Every structure is written in structure tokens, then in C-alpha cells.
Amino acid sequence: MLRIYDTRTRQVEEIASGRVLRMYTCGPTVYRHAHVGNLRSYLLSDLIRRVLERRRTRVLVCRNVTDVGHLVDDAEVGEDKVLMQARAEGRSVWELARFYEDAFNQDAAALNLRPPEHTPRASETIELMVELIAKLIEQGHAYATPDGSVFFDVRTFPTYGEISGNRLDALKPGPVDPRKRFHADWALWKPAQGELSWDTPWGRGFPGWHVECSAMALRFLGERIDVHTGGIDLRFPHHEDERAQSDAAVGHEVVRHWVHGEHLLFDGRKMAKSTGNVVLLSDVTEAGLDPLAVRLAFLEHRYRHQVNLNWDTLHAADRTVRRWRGRVAQWSESPSAPMAAEYVRRAEAAFDDDLDTPAALRVLRELERDDSIAPGAKFESFLHLDHLLALDLSTEIGRPRVLPAGAAELLEQRARARESLDWPASDRLRDDLAALGVRVSDTPDGQSWSM
Ligand code: AMP
Ligand code: ZN
């Protein structure tokens, strides 16, 4: 049974996995390339999905595309991020938004993130938001103002703040906005900005970012959502506001578990455009690294701890991914054997334990080194666990392996040295081979090599 930390209840809870699990993941705002920090947040939902699917649970994921409504600085007033960037790049908002959505999908695929079942675009589901806002006004949870805005009346939702702990009475008022009944009310609908606007009973305008997620989640997953994920910074105000809107509209708690991924730091500071340390997945591949090295580098840490990466750790992860692929290919040539059951059980238990991926990777490394386990069993175990790891560990199987010049002779000499029990010579030849990039290991069937 998967157990995971629930931000709202502040404890590790069991994720009841029946036949179906519904999960909503706040999707990208498509006005620029996602950096690898953003991608770390999306890995969280992929891991939850993979762990549950192993148990034959059908996982239904909705990950929206925010192509309108997300304002600069997440502020109540300010310019729409997509609109602003379109102007800066001299492109239409639609061209820009589709371009970055495609780029995001390519990055997600390169990281082996399974595609969600639903990927609604905010701009194409405006009628859902209008419907939800109308319902909230009718119920007395929202009010329209003369300038064509609609605000959520937060004092009608007494449990506001349960996710982040930011209770209403403790919230510091921001700048006074005369349109609001209370300083912490937020806009569900805002007056038009440029091309991104639609006609409604309250005037021409566009939806607030928070109400978009409520509307899409309720429509595509229904009124009972098992898990809702996002980066840690979305706890407040985005998820608090989303929870208030959805729960107020349907009259009960919509989301069972709120789960948040911690930030990625790079060279010691949070990865962000404003920090100036953004690394894109394309930077990683241009440096000659496999994109899945990034996935492995993430898995080396638990999702709810900060990860501090740098280019050295990415290079190290790349070497490990390549080594494991080489080993799996090499083991695939050995007689088949059943999985190393105890190792696999421990690795799977680590995944179940609040996605303790670093512990799972330690088990894999232990298994890799354990000479008492037959290569065929290692092969089966690594491939089985790769359904969770998704590091494409089988890609080298069957690839012709070409030894560097001179290595074949050294291997032959080493085989002869071992036959005559000349261990010092055998060790020396192993070092000579390593210098050529060829790793030798000794198995009951004789020596084998990998690169
Ligand atoms: P955005 O496209 O800006 O809405 O952000 C997409 C996701 O990335 C959100 O879930 C953010 O919480 C998350 N995020 C932003 N910066 C980082 C970071 N440095 N590390 C991990 N996640 C991040
Ligand atoms: Zn959201």
C-alpha cells in the first residue's frame, strides 16, 4: 500500500488504491520553456501513478495547460504571463502558447513521464469556469464588482488555510483594493487584457488562475479526487484558493490528499528565472547527457526534500544510467533466472514508503554488487524495477558491442592469467582494461565485460 505525506493533515497517509485513482496535477504555464526544476514537480505525479499501476489500479490523471489567467508575480493585478511574453517575442498569444506546450510535452516524454489522460487547456474550457463562477455567485460565495470582476468571498469558507496553515485571521493584508469586501478575497474573473478575453454576464474578461484548476478538476475528474499534486510553492495561495472554490461549490471536501514536491536547487539556490540559474532539459542533452540522467538525479532524493544539483551530479547520474544499461545488456546474455525476490521486495517497499526513492536506489546498487545473485536474476530484477524507475534500462540489450583496439588481446591474456591462478597479473590486466573503458567482472561462467 502506498503511503504518502499529506500536506493538509501533516502526516503520512495511506493512499487507498481501489480499481481507480483520480489525480489532478497543476500543469505548466506555457509562456516559456519549463526548467528542470519545474519538471521535478511533474515527476512526483508520474511516480505516484507508476507505483499504483503496479497494483493494477487504473490511474486517471488530469494535468491542465495554463495558457491564460496566470498573471506576472502571481498577483491579483498585473499582466498575463502569456500575453506579456507574446508581445516580447513578437508572436500571437496562441502561437506562443502552443509552441511552449509542445516543448513541454517533448520534455515530459524525454523524462518518461506518462501522458495524462486529460490535458485541458484553460482557454478552451472557459465555459466551465463561467459556469462555476455563476454557481459560486448564486450560492453567495462570490460577488461581482462594477468594473467587471468577480471575487471569491473568502469569509464564507471558514476552513480556509488548512493546507498551508495560513489561516485568515493571521493573513497580513496586502495593498487595499476598494473592490474587495475583505483583503484576502481573490478574483475569479478579471476585466479584459488584450486578445485573451471572453464575454460573460459580468463583462468581457478572463478567468483567474485558481478558478481554472477548480473548474477543470471538477469537470474531468469529478467531485471526488484522490490526490492533488503540485510544487511546494503552490500550497498558498493557489491550492488554498482552489480548495475553497471547489469545496464551496460542491459542499464537501473534493480532494482527499494534497501532495507537494519540494524545490530543486541548482548550485545551492532555488532554480528560477529570477535567480538566473535555469537549466533546461535541452541544456542537459546539449552537454551530451542522457535526459534520463536528470530523472535519476531526482530519484536520488525523496520528493519532499530539497535537491541541490549541479553539473557534476548530473554527469555522475549520467554515468550510472549508462553503466546500468550496460550491465543489463550484459546480464541479458546469461541463462535466465527468477528475480532476486528479496531485493525486489525491499526496493518496492521503499517506493511504497512515501516514495523513498533514494532507499530504492541503494537496494539496486547493493543488488548490482552482490556476487551471490546470478546475472540472469539481476537482469530480471532490474527490468522489473525499471517499470517504476523508468530509466530505459533495457535499451542496450542486443546492441553489438565493439571493443576498443587492443582490448580483445588483454581480455585473452587475463583469461589465461586466471587459468594459471596468476592473480596479480589478472588484477593488472583488469586495470589496463579499465583504462580503455572496459570493465571486467568475474562470474561463475568466466570473465565478462561491459563498457
Ligand atoms: P509554472 O509553470 O511556473 O506554473 O510552474 C510549474 C511547476 O513548477 C509548479 O508546480 C511549481 O511549483 C514548480 N516549480 C517552480 N520552480 C521550481 C523549482 N525550482 N523546483 C521544483 N519545482 C518548481
Ligand atoms: Zn492548479
> How far is ligand 1, taken at its centre, from the CA of residue 363, in Å?
30
pLDDT of residue 395: 95
Q: Give the residue from 25, 231, 14 showing the smallest Cα distance to 118.
A: 25
Residue of 31, 36, 41 to test ligand 1 pocket, by largest number of atoms within 8 Å of CB: 41
Nearest ligand 1 atom to alpha carbon 40:
21
Task: Answer yes or no: is the C-beta of 213 below 6 A from any ligand 1 atom.
Answer: no
Task: Answer yes or no: is the C-beta of 230 below 6 A from any ligand 1 atom.
Answer: yes
Chain segment 82-99, per-residue pLDDT in tens: 888 988 999 999 999 999
The boundaries of the domain holding residue 416 are 407-450
d(CA 87, CA 440): 58
Lowest-confidence range among 74-78, 234-238, 271-275, 282-286? 74-78
Q: pLDDT-derived band of residue 130, with 50, 70 and 90 as boundaries?
A: very high
Chain segment 199-210, per-residue pLDDT in tens: 999 999 999 999
Q: Which residues of 104-116 are buried (b: 16+ CB within 10 A; e: fewer)?
A: bbebbebbbbeeb
Chain segment 335-371, per-residue pLDDT in tens: 999 999 999 999 999 999 999 999 999 999 999 999 9
- Cα 333 to Cα 128, 176, 365, 386, 401: the distances in Å are 56, 71, 20, 18, 12
Judged by its nearest atom, the ligand closest to the C-alpha of residue 209 is 2
pLDDT of residue 327: 94
Residues 100 and 200 in one domain: yes
Percent of the chain at pLDDT exceeding 90: 84
Task: Answer yes or no: is the C-beta of 137 below 6 A from any ligand 1 atom.
Answer: no
Residue of 31, 38, 73 to test ligand 1 pocket, by largest number of atoms within 8 Å of CB: 38
What residues contact residue 348 under an 8 Å CB cut-off, 6+ apart?
A: 54, 360, 385, 388
Backbone φ and ψ for 62, nearest 5 degrees, come out as -120, 120
* Residue 6 placed within a domain: no
Residues 32 and 129 in one domain: yes
Q: Give the residue from 208, 256, 217 showing the smallest Cα distance to 63.
A: 217
Backbone φ and ψ for 323, nearest 5 degrees, come out as -65, -45
Phi-psi sector, 401: left (phi>0), alpha (psi -120 to 50), beta: beta
**What is the bridge-based pairing of β-strands 20-25 and 58-63?**
parallel
Over residues 225-253, the mean pLDDT reads 97
26 vs 274 pLDDT, higher one: 26
Nearest ligand 1 atom to alpha carbon 266:
19
* Residue 250 placed within a domain: yes
The answer to whether the CB of 282 falls within 8 A of the CB of 338 is: no
> How far is ligand 2, taken at its centre, from the CA of residue 407, in Å?
56
Over residues 429-451, the mean pLDDT reads 82
Residues 339 and 420 in one domain: no
Task: Answer yes or no: is the C-beta of 233 below 6 A from any ligand 1 atom.
Answer: yes
CA triple 70-76-80, angle to 5 deg: 35
pLDDT tops 90 at residue 38: yes
> What mean pLDDT, rounded, does the chain reach?
94
Last residue of a domain, one of 261, 287, 303: 261
Residues 219 and 325 in one domain: no
* Residue 145 placed within a domain: yes
Task: Answer yes or no: is the C-beta of 27 below 6 A from any ligand 1 atom.
Answer: no
Residues 415 and 300 in one domain: no
Chain segment 366-376, per-residue pLDDT in tens: 999 999 999 99
Q: Give the residue from 247, 398, 262 showing the smallest Cα distance to 325.
A: 398
Task: Answer yes or no: is the C-beta of 41 below 6 A from any ligand 1 atom.
Answer: yes
Number of domains in the chain: 3
pLDDT tops 80 at residue 305: yes
Residues 307 and 212 in one domain: no
pLDDT of residue 74: 63
Residues 277 and 255 in one domain: no
193 vs 105 pLDDT, higher one: 105
The answer to whether the CB of 191 falls within 8 A of the CB of 148 is: yes
pLDDT tops 80 at residue 280: yes
> How far is ligand 2, taken at its centre, from the CA of residue 448, in Å?
51
Backbone φ and ψ for 337, nearest 5 degrees, come out as -150, 155
pLDDT of residue 341: 98
pLDDT tops 80 at residue 169: yes
pLDDT of residue 438: 84
Residues 206 and 82 in one domain: yes
* Residue 347 placed within a domain: yes
Residue of 71, 81, 233, 259 to test ligand 1 pocket, by largest number of atoms within 8 Å of CB: 233
Over residues 39-68, the mean pLDDT reads 96
> How far is ligand 2, taken at its centre, from the CA of residue 174, in Å?
22
Last residue of a domain, one of 241, 261, 281: 261
Q: pLDDT-derived band of residue 441, with 50, 70 and 90 as boundaries?
A: confident
**Closest Cα to atom 11, ligand 1: which residue?**
231
Q: Return the residue matching grid coordinates 540489450.
A: 397
Task: Answer yes or no: is the C-beta of 129 below 6 A from any ligand 1 atom.
Answer: no
pLDDT tops 90 at residue 444: no
**What is the bridge-based pairing of β-strands 205-207 and 225-231?**
unpaired
Task: Answer yes or no: is the C-beta of 231 below 6 A from any ligand 1 atom.
Answer: yes
What residues contact residue 423 under an 8 Å CB cut-off, 6+ apart?
A: 417
pLDDT of residue 434: 87
> How far is ligand 1, taken at its centre, from the CA of residue 239, in Å?
13
Strand (E) or helix (H) holding 62: strand 58-63
d(CA 360, CA 383): 14
> How far is ligand 2, taken at its centre, from the CA of residue 88, in Å?
25
Residues 98 and 177 in one domain: yes
Residues 212 and 193 in one domain: yes
Task: Answer yes or no: is the C-beta of 263 below 6 A from any ligand 1 atom.
Answer: yes
pLDDT of residue 400: 78
Q: pLDDT-derived band of residue 176, with 50, 70 and 90 as boundaries?
A: confident
Nearest ligand 1 atom to alpha carbon 34:
2
pLDDT tops 70 at residue 75: no
- Cα 402 to Cα 289, 392, 435: the distances in Å are 21, 21, 16
Q: pLDDT-derived band of residue 448, with 50, 70 and 90 as boundaries?
A: confident
Chain segment 143-153, per-residue pLDDT in tens: 999 999 999 99
* Residue 157 placed within a domain: yes
pLDDT tops 90 at residue 402: no
Task: Answer yes or no: is the C-beta of 40 below 6 A from any ligand 1 atom.
Answer: yes
Nearest ligand 1 atom to alpha carbon 231:
12
> How far is ligand 1, taken at its centre, from the CA of residue 97, in Å?
17
Residues 421 and 372 in one domain: no
Q: Which three cell numbers stand for residue 281?
A: 532539459
pLDDT tops 90 at residue 8: yes
Backbone φ and ψ for 189, nearest 5 degrees, come out as -135, 140
Q: pLDDT-derived band of residue 445, with 50, 70 and 90 as boundaries?
A: confident
Task: Answer yes or no: is the C-beta of 223 below 6 A from any ligand 1 atom.
Answer: no
Residues 25 and 142 in one domain: yes
d(CA 411, CA 5): 51
* Residue 104 placed within a domain: yes
**Closest Cα to atom 23, ligand 1: which residue?**
38
pLDDT tops 90 at residue 377: yes
Task: Answer yes or no: is the C-beta of 235 below 6 A from any ligand 1 atom.
Answer: no
The answer to whether the CB of 202 falls within 8 A of the CB of 151 is: no
